[in-house]
Chains A and B, each alone.
Chain A
Amino acid sequence: MNMTTPIEKRDFKIVGKSVRRDDVLEKVTGEAQYTGDVKLTGTLHGKIKRAAIAHARIKSIDVSRALAYPGVKAVLTHENVPRVLHYGSPHPRSASCTKDQYILDDKVRFWGEGVAAVAAISEEIADEALDLIEVEYEPLPAVIEPEDAAQPGAPLIHDVGPGGNLVLDPVRVNRGDVEAGFALADFVLEGTFSGGRPHPAYMEPNVCIADWDGSNKLTFWTSTQSSFMVRGILAEVLGLPLTKVRVLVDHMGGGFGAKQDCFQHEFLCALLAKETRRPVKMEFTRHETFVAGRSRHPCKIWLKQGFKNDGTLVARDMKLVYDSGAYGSHGPGVTIVGTTAATSLYRCENVRLEGRCVYTNTPINGAFRGYGVVQSYYALDIQMDEAAERLGMDPAELKLKNVVRAGDIAPSGHPILGHGLEICIQHGVEKIGWKALRERDRTPDPKHPHIRKGWGIGCEMHGSSAYPGIKEQGNATVKVNEDGTVTLLTGAAGLGTGAHTALAQIVAEELGVRFEDVGTVHGDTDVVPWDIGAFASHTTYLVGTAAKMAAGKVRAAVLERAAMKLQVSPGEIDLSEGKVFVVAETDRCMTVAEAMGPSRGIPAANIVANGTYEPTKSYSFAAHFTEVDVDTETGIVEVKRVVPVHDIGRVIHPIAAQGQIEGGIQQGIGHTLTEDYVIDKKTGRSLNAGLVDYKMPLSMDMPDIETVILEAAPDPGGPWGAKGVGEDPIIAIGPSIANAIYDAIGVRFHHYPITPEDILKALREKDA
């Protein structure tokens, strides 16, 4: 174990600066082309008929009236599409997924599942044709709640998988001896926790366009975080070689994890286009993004931990049940990641964890920022506060005492290298004056006697990469052009995080050229190197390192060529800001363009290099300090101020990193207080599939956020020590709010969202 792997230090010219992002000029002028803006002549509009029943067998389906409807060009049902069992979210190189989907099946597994698809000359005609399709169902008993689905004898939703409505075999983790640990405990805390079904609600509804050419090649525009995964699955299911499927995605209107499935509508769009030999566009309504999109897995958790009177944690026993919805999608990954995460955060030698994931007759849950860990750390962090209360200790002190340290074994099974959680907690405690806040006068402000103020801390850690569940690989290609400019080819998706800019910064820094001289090509699977997809907070860490490697290789090649021209050895020269110069004699120099060009006896250069990186994992850390006002008359909780303190290693682009943190906090406030995609417990029907009834925090609801980024603990696995940031903020904010509510009104909540009704009911019970 090498704990001291050196991280290269240098005076950065481009890394660490908030350069102008390469995508924003287009975005502020309206020129940025999103998938829905692509226009092809003769495009037909595709629409999907969705089942209004949660569990049923299709007895018959009559499309004759729809087919005869003027303007309708094709109708697809389970009777005329290829029947290929496939993955919903085939993380390449992951063994945990189950093939459990057909493009269309003779069975319905959730209310809103597609049962037929129509292509027509206008959206209106396609919509009208859907009503002409007659489906006769044989209803089956539906299981909406995971507890019911897991009961022996419950109706089975799938024939595949381990049975008993399990998506995968239970995930079990055992470290040390839990019984022996509890025997050492001075006291034990036990509680149940639960999380709702937050929905990512990215602003751009899912959309795709399919177009087949005369050589039977499919060109497919789609708003996806994982274009190579979409290519792979489409090719597999449609029986095509990869040369015959080209996936394109330029700008994306957000995804937050949920746009990394290959969706039913994507297959149907491709097949409708094939059938009609015309381009077909399929665009979700906002309602469909809820019903046929992906949400976070609802989760029920039982957590029991033993503590010594000095605050030492001696045993942790935890059971988690994740609700996958009607298909596996990311259920296996979420269950593995969310369960194994609970080995860590707070050190404990004796740990026993069991994570289950069950099918229910509800819309599919998938990947969403925080991937299973939002749920498990909500429980861990709140119970830690309860232990502090029991001990009469400051929760900040108890957390500091127990947080993981450098060298501890991480959930991935590796020793943690760059570790900054202690520093994050200490920094936040100082910054907000935590100790004074703990000892403050708690008398309510006489002007607002019904308002109670509270402060809470939430801590988290999150891996940058999905290792070991997925053997990851990052790729980049860097070319030096004859004028000295540089082209970076990357398969990384542009969700809106600024990832392409960060990659270009890394290339410019490593190579020694100006940021403006690096152009980026992305979003075309026929052109760019293979990419695993944008997830697991890993693009800068994973693809960034690959880009740095490729840039290092082309730099060496440029130096070699320049040395030949300058008639010195490559060791005597350096390259900076696009100029090669002799170190000892800096006016002996040439531009990269001059180095590239032909000269007597030396042909023009073709300098191209690939970087491939197969990392393990680094961890980022955060502590959020959150102030709330609880209105004891209305039950409304207002988040007033958040001080998020993050350790993300080396920061490549400060403003983009802050943006990730602040946006994650917005979503996390929503999850904790107002957001829950509600499914009717009897019928399985969606009750709030729209942006008014699904209430997110907007401009009036946002607190003051004072983001602090500490480059506390760079990890040698990332470029100059950079680690991920995308998922961390959404994990830490939840428990910080729940703990702050306790501080304000003395009531513990173990679930989210914590609604005004919950607050008022709890206050009434407390007073009674």
Chain B
Amino acid sequence: MKRIVELTINGEPRDMAVETCRSLLDALRDDVGLTGTKKGCDVGDCGACTVLVDGEPVNACLMLAVEAEGRSVETIEGLQPGVDTLHPLQDAFMRHGASQCGFCTPGILMMAKKLLDDNPRPTDEDIRFGLSGNICRCTGYTKIFDAIKSAAREMEAARS
């Protein structure tokens, strides 16, 4: 049975008609057409589908779409502050080679955004801990750590 769910996606009010058993991930990908959020396992193990719900990171595969009623969902498609501008994290990921196959990248970027929103000056350990739920199999994480540190510095400099 389908239900109408009213929510905010990337700042825009949306409504979607979804089966009550549908995950937020499938609803975003198949019903809303936002395929940037990836399905790597569908059981909450890999973090590829990380989105922010009311600012908190969530594995979208583990949340029912109907649970998003009245809430604010941020996905990778909403990370850019404007059409022609990138979030400092996106820019840093490109410069540092933090994205190889790129399948984990949207989830890691959303997790990194949350990390820097909460903690603008993270230590190496903070970054490692912050990403511990996101599997990257290509990079060995080294360049992801570099990119996040670099973005943190740039965001700090932009604020001061």
Contact = CB atoms under 8 A, between A and B. Distances in A.
Interface of A: 18, 20-21, 23-34, 36-37, 39, 124, 200-205, 251-254, 256, 283, 285-286, 495-498, 655-656, 658-659, 662-667, 690-692, 696, 698-700, 702, 705
B70 interface: no
A566 to B, nearest CB: 39
Interface in B70-116: 75-77, 79-80, 86, 89-90, 93-97, 99-106, 109
A671 to B, nearest CB: 12
Query: Max chain B CB contacts within 10 Å: which of A28, A254, A285, A496?
Result: A28
Given A29-B90, A286-B45, A702 B141 contact: yes
A36 B75 contact: no
Nearest to A289: B41
Interface stretch (B1-9, B32-40, B52-60, B152-160): B32-40
Interface in B40-54: 40-43, 45-46, 48
Given A655-B97, A659-B97, A205 B40 contact: yes
A666 B137 contact: yes
B141 A251 contact: no
B142 A699 contact: no
Interface residues of B, number: 56
Contact of A203 (B29, B33, B48): B48
Nearest to A494: B101
B135 A286 contact: no
A18 B146 CA distance: 15
A39 B89 CA distance: 29
Nearest to A33: B35
Given A28-B109, A655-B143, A691 B38 contact: no
Nearest to A286: B41
Contact of A30 (B37, B41, B97): B37
A692 B44 CA distance: 9
B43 A663 contact: no
Interface string B57-73: 00000000000000000
Secondary structure of the B side of the interface? loop
B94 A202 contact: no
Contacts of A20: 94-95
A286 B106 contact: no
A479 to B, nearest CB: 27
A27 B140 contact: no
A34 B38 contact: yes
Contacts of B94: 20-21, 24-25, 28
Given A201-B137, A663-B137, A705 B45 contact: no
15 contacts: A18-B97, A20-B95, A21-B94, A26-B102, A29-B79, A37-B29, A205-B40, A252-B101, A658-B143, A659-B139, A662-B143, A690-B45, A691-B45, A698-B131, A699-B129
Contact of A24 (B76, B99, B132): B99
Nearest to A252: B101
Contacts of B77: 29-30
Contacts of A659: 97, 100, 138-140, 143
Contacts of A31: 36
Contacts of B37: 30
A30 B101 contact: no
A496 B102 contact: yes
B128 interface: yes
A325 to B, nearest CB: 21
Contact of B96 (A33, A36, A655, A702): A655
A57 B139 CA distance: 44
Contacts of B97: 18, 21, 498, 655-656, 658-659
Nearest to A665: B140
A663 B76 contact: no
A522 to B, nearest CB: 15
A690 B43 contact: yes
B137 A202 contact: yes
Contacts of A496: 100-103, 138
Contact of B38 (A204, A667, A700): A204
A535 to B, nearest CB: 16
Interface of A is mostly: loop
Contacts of A664: 140
A664 B129 CA distance: 22
B101 A662 contact: no
A254 B38 CA distance: 13
Interface-centre pick from B38, B100, B144 (highest chain A CB count, 10 A)? B100
B83 to A, nearest CB: 11
Nearest to A662: B140
A690 B41 contact: yes
Contacts of B39: 36, 205, 283
A217 B51 CA distance: 39
Contacts of A696: 135, 137
Nearest to A668: B140
Given A253-B101, A286-B40, A663 B138 contact: yes
Contact of A702 (B34, B36, B140): B140
B154 to A, nearest CB: 15
Given A251-B102, A659-B100, A24 B140 contact: no
A254 B143 contact: no
A27 B105 contact: yes
B46 A203 contact: yes
B103 A667 contact: no
Given A27-B102, A30-B36, A204-B101, A700 B132 contact: yes
Contacts of A201: 135, 137
A495 B90 contact: no
Given A24-B99, A286-B45, A497-B100, A30 B135 contact: no
Contacts of B145: 699
Nearest to B89: A28
A655 B106 CA distance: 20
Contacts of B135: 201, 203, 691, 696, 698
Contact of B140 (A23, A39, A252, A666): A666
A124 B20 CA distance: 13
B129 A700 contact: yes
Contacts of A254: 100-101, 103, 137-138
A249 B102 CA distance: 15
A253 B41 contact: no
A28 B100 contact: no
Given A286-B41, A655-B96, A659-B143, A253 B128 contact: no
Q: Name which of B80, B139, B144 has the most chain A CB atoms within 10 A of its CB.
A: B139
Nearest to A498: B100
A495 B90 CA distance: 20
B93 A30 contact: no
Given A30-B34, A656-B97, A691-B41, 12 more contacts: A24-B94, A28-B102, A29-B76, A29-B79, A33-B35, A34-B38, A204-B40, A251-B102, A497-B100, A659-B138, A691-B46, A698-B135
Contacts of B141: 666, 698-699, 702
A224 to B, nearest CB: 14
A28 B132 CA distance: 20
A257 to B, nearest CB: 13
Given A28-B93, A202-B101, A663 B140 contact: yes
Contacts of A495: 101
Given A495-B101, A690-B43, A690-B45, A663 B75 contact: no
B137 A667 contact: yes
Given A28-B86, A30-B75, A663-B140, A253 B103 contact: yes
A203 B140 contact: no
Contacts of A124: 21
Nearest to A28: B90
Nearest to A31: B36
A690 B42 CA distance: 11
Nearest to B80: A29
A664 B138 CA distance: 8
Given A30-B77, A656-B97, A702 B103 contact: no
